[in-house]
Amino acid sequence: MRRFISILAALVVGISLAPASNAASTKVMFTEATGAPISGIPTVAAGETLHFVLGGFPSTGGLYVFQAVQPVGGARPTYSNTKAPLWISTDAQASFAPTKVIAFTIDNGNAWGADCAHQQCGLWFEFDHTKSTDLSEDQFVPFTFNTLPTTGTTPVIATSAYTLSVKINGVITQENIPGTIAYRQILTFDATSNSNAPVAFKSFTPDLCPVTGNTVTALKGSGQCDIAVTVGSKSSHFPFNVIQGTQSVSLGKSSLKVGQSLLLAKISNFGEVIAYKSSSKNCSIKGNSLKALKAGSCKISASAMAMDNYKALNQSFVLTIKK
C-alpha cells in the first residue's frame, strides 16, 4: 500500500509519465506487475501484458481503455479494438478499480485491421458509457511493439540503429504530424538513412492513398491516410487528412488581337463541363469560343459543378485585347 501511495504521488507531480495526446486529467504510468514504476516507453510483443497505474482519475465517470493505432490530429482512432476494452471504474462490475495496478494484454492488431509491427499502436483512453459524448478524457498513450517476444517479465526500452530523414515534395517532414493531401494530388517521398539498407514505402490505407514506388496519390476527397517509411527495423509513419480537390482551368493566353478567337477548354481538370460568361463588351463568348471585339480588358468567368471529391469551379480571368 505504501508503494502504491508513492506511485500516485509521482503521478500527481508528473514524474515518469507516459506521453499523452491531450490534456486529459487522467495520468498514466507504466509499471511492473508489482506496481514498481518503469521509465520510458515500454516494448511488448503479442500476448504479453502491459501494467500501469492511474492518477487524477475522474470522479464523474469511469474509463474505457483499448488498443488502437495512433489517431490523426484530435480525432478518435480509425483502427481500434473496441470489442475488447477494459472498463476501469469504481463500479463492482468493472474490469479494474482505478486504485489497482491494471493489466492489459497486447495483440498484433491483425484481427481488427491494424498491424502494430508497422503502425504506431498504443492504449486509447476515453470516458465510458456513462459519459460517452464527453471527449475530455480522450488520450493516446503509445507503446513500442516487438515482433519477437521480450525477455523477462519487465518491458524494455526500444532502441534502433537506424535513422530516417524524409522529404515530401522536397520539404523535410516529421513523422506522426498530420499533413494534408487533396484529391488526385501526388506526393513524392524522398527518404535517406544512415545505413545502406533499402528504404520501403507502404500505405496502410491503400484503397484511399495507394503507393506507387515512392509516390502517393489520394483517390477520394475525404478520409485519413497512413503512409509508412521503413528501413530495417525502423518505421516512420506519416498521417494525412484527405481533403477535396480544387477544380481549375487555364485559358492558355493572356492577350488577343481584335478579331481573333480563342477556343476555351470544355472541361475542367476533373472532367466537369465548364460554363463561360463574359462581363465585358470588349469580347464575346459563345459556348467555349471567345472572340476579341475591341481593344481593352476582356473579363470572363468560368464555372463548373462540385462533386464529393472536389469543389465547384469558380474562376475569373482578364485578357488584354490589343488593336
Same domain, 124 and 19: yes
pLDDT of 21 higher than 50: no
Contact yes or no for 159/118 (Cβ under 8 A): no
The mean per-residue pLDDT over the stretch 119-130 comes to 92
Confidence of residue 176 (pLDDT cuts 50, 70, 90): confident
In 78-178 the beta strands, taken as DSSP E runs, fall at 86-88, 102-105, 121-127, 139-142, 144-145, 156-157, 164-168, 171-172
Q: Which is more confidently placed, 251 or 13?
A: 251
Look at 122 and 232; give whichever has higher pLDDT: 122
Is 50 exceeded by the pLDDT of residue 113? yes
Q: Across residues 127-137, what is the average pLDDT?
A: 92
pLDDT at 31 > cutoff 60: yes
Confidence bin at 22 (pLDDT 50/70/90): low
Residue 153 clears pLDDT 50, i.e. is over it: no
**Distance (Å) of CA 121 to CA 116, 130, 154, 174, 274:** 6, 26, 19, 18, 46
Q: Who contacts 33 (Cβ-Cβ below 8 Å, separation ≥6)?
A: 49, 51, 101, 103, 153
Structural domain contains residue 250? no
Q: How far is CA 171 from CA 14, 58, 167, 188, 260, in A?
A: 35, 42, 5, 10, 44
Bridge partner residues of 65 (DSSP): 86, 125
Tell me: do 148 and 172 sit in the same domain: no
Of 243, 272, 297, the position where a domain reaches its end is: 243
Last residue of a domain, one of 243, 275, 294: 243
At residue 266, does pLDDT exceed 80? yes
For the chain, what percentages of helix, strand and coil (3-state, to nearest 5) are there? 5, 45, 50
Question: How far, in Å, are 99, 100, 212 from residue 5 at the CA level?
Answer: 10, 11, 54
Out of 157, 191, 211, pick the residue that ends a domain.
157
pLDDT given at position 158: 42
Q: Which domain holds residue 176?
A: 164-243
**Percentage of the chain with pLDDT > 70?**
89
pLDDT, average across residues 217-245? 89
What is the pLDDT at residue 164? 83
Q: Which of 83, 55, 61 is nearest to 141 (CA)?
A: 55
pLDDT of 58 higher than 50: yes
Mean pLDDT of 216-220: 95
- Residue 177: the pLDDT is 82
Residues 10, 54 share a domain: yes
pLDDT of residue 148: 62
Parallel, antiparallel, or unpaired for β 255-257 and 313-322? parallel
pLDDT at 243 over 60: yes
CATH number for position 170: 2.60.40.1080
Percent of the chain exceeding pLDDT 90 equals 58
Look at residue 18 and tell me whether its pLDDT is greater than 80.
Answer: no
Q: Tell me if 91 is assigned to some domain.
A: yes
Distance CA 19, CA 140 (A): 8
Q: What's the whole-number mean pLDDT along residues 91-108?
A: 93
Split into its structural domains, the chain has a count of 3
pTM: 0.57
